[in-house]
Structure 1
Amino acid sequence: MGITGKELAEKLNISATAVSMALNGKPGVSTEMRKRIIAEAEKAGYDFSRLQLKKNHSGDIYCIIYRAHNAILNYTPIFSELTEGIEAECRHKGYGLKTLQVYENTDDLTQVVEELRICGCVGMILLGTELSAGICRRFLEASLPMVLLDASFDAIDCSSVLINNVQGAYLATGYLIDRCNEQPGHLCSSYSIANFSERKTGFQKAVREHGMSVSKSLSHELAPSIEGAFSDMLEIIDSGTPLAKCYFADNDLIAIGAIKALKLRGYKIPDDMAIIGFDNISEGRILDPSLTTIDIPRRFMGQTAVDQLIRQMEDPASHTVKLQISTSLIKRFSV
């Protein structure tokens, strides 16, 4: 005869309530404790057939947008597409959705985590674009199912859905080199986030695989906004700094700002200088010339994050996964 829940609790020296929450897939115990309880239950022959492991639609999924310096998340259209995908998939799967904005400089994170435990939240999608590993750990203290969106940390056991930044930057830089047959430069963001670091890796990989030296690629730091990049690029041009014949930009905002500055100083795009971006924002389509860029299926990313979270809610003992969403090249007229 298999072990009972009460006997399992006594064996593990924990409360029967904790065992019940773990076996029924309910929040209130940590991910590690849940895995330990389920593993011991399987080992001891617990009869899982008596459980009704059904979707819990009585609570809400929370989409949490964490804002640190806000330099990246300040451009809302990109992240609106992510949240639209999340909302559509939650509605399709019968879950309510609530959105929570958390500001690093003003919000008490301890209080936020405590409120998540008691507010009817059944799972979290945490937008990690401006997130650090330390802050991610704080959210995990809520002991709720969680999926990271647009970020991943190797030292943290948490499922994630993110852009394949290396692949996208590699694709963009390879196309740039093939079209221009020149050593490409890099228009880097002056704000450092993991996405941009990964894009730098993809850029350098493409440069090396085309038989070029990374050390010969010119690099300029620009603010990751159209206005900021415009000002920074004007300063670079006016200072007489040497310029490359073609550039990969960390995002479209940088690319657009740089193109506006170059055109103001008499450069013709792409005849005098070619530029490729990353993100495929709407402003790039109406730019003259329209911006060659990398497209990210952001709505699909949001939907995928919800699907992964629901799997985790239904099977708390499942392994965490890191899902990278591939990008695609959009050929226009800036290259």
Structure 2
Amino acid sequence: MKVSIRKISEITGFSPATVSNALNRKRGVNAETSEKIFRVAEELGYRMEEKIKKIRFVIFRRSGLIIDDSPFHPAVIEGVEHQAKSMGYETVFCHVDINDAQYQMQINEILSDTESAVVLLGTEMLEEDFEPFTQAKNKIILLDGWSDRYFFDSVLISNTDSAAKAVEYLAGKGHKDIGYIQGDFRIQAFRYREIGFKRVMERYGLPVRPEYIATVGTRIETAYEGMKRYLDETPVIPTAYFADNDTIAIGAMRAIKEYGYGIPEDVSIIGFDNISFGAISDPPLTTINVYKREMGETAVRELVLAIEDPKKVRMKIQVCTDFVERGSVRKI
């Protein structure tokens, strides 16, 4: 039998109007009253009809070192907006900054809005950032992020396999001394790309030499400066590098050439993401193509499926990539 607001009113002693306002999370109902009403509603098996009116795209910012001015994320956002519109939903965009004094209040407001479902851009999220989002009262899907501890519907890049593919390509071109240019802000995606790098190095019996690992900034300028510092301290460099992403690779390439090395004559390099700058760099950058717009579209489709079917099994979907061969790698 369907449980009514009137029945909850009779048991709790609060008026039907108060019960309705509490269940709809309207202002004016104190926390103690609201908690009692929700507890009784849950015990009775009361279910509100979900009336999702919009998709809220939440961009999580920890440092901005990855997402600020990134050529990667506009394509993801375009995919989210396009798919939401085609399915009849308005898209609302908002930023949350973990360093903002109002952060917790913003999160509480977003996650208690039962008229919206959330696509959470988790590129900069670390493991400790996910816990508040487990308390969401609305549907949520994680995009370009990964948690080992908490389980969310997720759409992410196949980072480990894709990085492995890049390093296998270098090994197949005859490179035995392969280095790694890593971003100093170790987002989850970079950590899993590092696993792919090390996995292939071990498979081919190639040593991961500490002197061949350069730690640099995650913007073109800071990657360039970091690579210069590394080259100042490293008299011998490997014949090839895998870089965490294209932005890092492009900055590092500039430094490498300034120090008199030819690319790919002296050193080869592979990036990740296939941003547009890579196609016109000198030389054009060999990279991993990520289906950015498709990731956004997939996230919205999976979110809507979860809205329509509350019993839907949670899934982590890894989107495969393609290898893009250009001019920054030579065969030995």
Name the TM tier (shorter chain).
0.7 to 0.9
Is 1:283 the counterpart of 2:282? The answer is: no
Q: What is the identity, as a one-letter code, of the residue corresponding to 2:196? A: G
1:301 corresponding residue in structure 2: 295
Is 1:220 the counterpart of 2:214? The answer is: yes
| Contact 1:66 1:101 (C-alpha < 8 Å) held by counterparts | yes
Is 1:319 the counterpart of 2:313? The answer is: yes
1:25 corresponding residue in structure 2: none
Question: Runs of 5+ in structure 1 lacking a partner?
Answer: 23-28
| Contact 1:113 1:142 (C-alpha < 8 Å) held by counterparts | no
Alignment of 1:8-87 (within 5 A): 56=51, 59-87=53-81
1:5 corresponding residue in structure 2: 3
Distance in 1, matches of 2:209 and 2:112, equals 53
Is 1:144 the counterpart of 2:138? The answer is: yes
| Contact 1:186 1:217 (C-alpha < 8 Å) held by counterparts | no
CA apart distance, 1:120: 6.4
Q: How many residues align?
A: 309
Question: Runs of 5+ in structure 2 lacking a partner?
Answer: 25-33
CA apart distance, 1:73: 0.7
Q: What is the identity, as a one-letter code, of the residue corresponding to 1:126? A: L
CA apart distance, 1:79: 0.6
State the TM-score, normalized to the length of structure 1. 0.82
Is 1:330 the counterpart of 2:328? The answer is: no
Is 1:211 the counterpart of 2:205? The answer is: yes
| Contact 1:184 1:217 (C-alpha < 8 Å) held by counterparts | no
| Contact 1:72 1:224 (C-alpha < 8 Å) held by counterparts | yes
CA apart distance, 1:112: 1.0
CA apart distance, 1:315: 1.2
- Three-state SS of the structure 2 residue aligned to 1:172 is helix
CA apart distance, 1:137: 2.4
Distance in 2, matches of 1:149 and 1:73, equals 13
RMSD, aligned α-carbons: 3.2
Select which of 93, 96, 106 maps to 2:90. Answer: 96
1:254 corresponding residue in structure 2: 248
Alignment of 1:158-307 (within 5 A): 158-215=152-209, 218-307=212-301
| Contact 1:180 1:246 (C-alpha < 8 Å) held by counterparts | no
CA apart distance, 1:205: 1.0
Q: What is the identity, as a one-letter code, of the residue corresponding to 1:5? A: V
- Three-state SS of the structure 2 residue aligned to 1:214 is coil
- Three-state SS of the structure 2 residue aligned to 1:177 is helix
Counting aligned pairs with the same residue, the percent is 32
CA apart distance, 1:318: 1.7
- Three-state SS of the structure 1 residue aligned to 2:130 is helix
CA apart distance, 1:248: 0.3
CA apart distance, 1:215: 4.7
Distance in 2, matches of 1:163 and 1:96, equals 26
From the superposition, tell whether residues 301 and 217 of structure 1 become closer, same or farther in structure 2 (CA, over 3 Å): farther
Is 1:124 the counterpart of 2:107? The answer is: no
Distance in 2, matches of 1:232 and 1:133, equals 26
Deviations 1:254-287 (A, max 9, x none): 1111111111121111110000001111111111
Mean alpha-carbon deviation: is it higher for 164-173 or for 308-317?
Answer: 308-317
Mean alpha-carbon deviation: is it higher for 253-262 or for 214-223?
Answer: 214-223
Q: What is the identity, as a one-letter code, of the residue corresponding to 2:94? A: L
Deviations 1:35-79 (A, max 9, x none): xx79x97xxxx9x9xx9x7x845x211000011111111233211
CA apart distance, 1:216: 7.2
State the TM-score, normalized to the length of structure 2. 0.83
Distance in 2, matches of 1:176 and 1:165, equals 17
From the superposition, tell whether residues 161 and 211 of structure 1 become closer, same or farther in structure 2 (CA, over 3 Å): same
Distance in 1, matches of 2:232 and 2:151, equals 48
| Contact 1:248 1:275 (C-alpha < 8 Å) held by counterparts | yes
Deviations 1:144-174 (A, max 9, x none): 1000111121321311111110011001110
CA apart distance, 1:329: 0.4
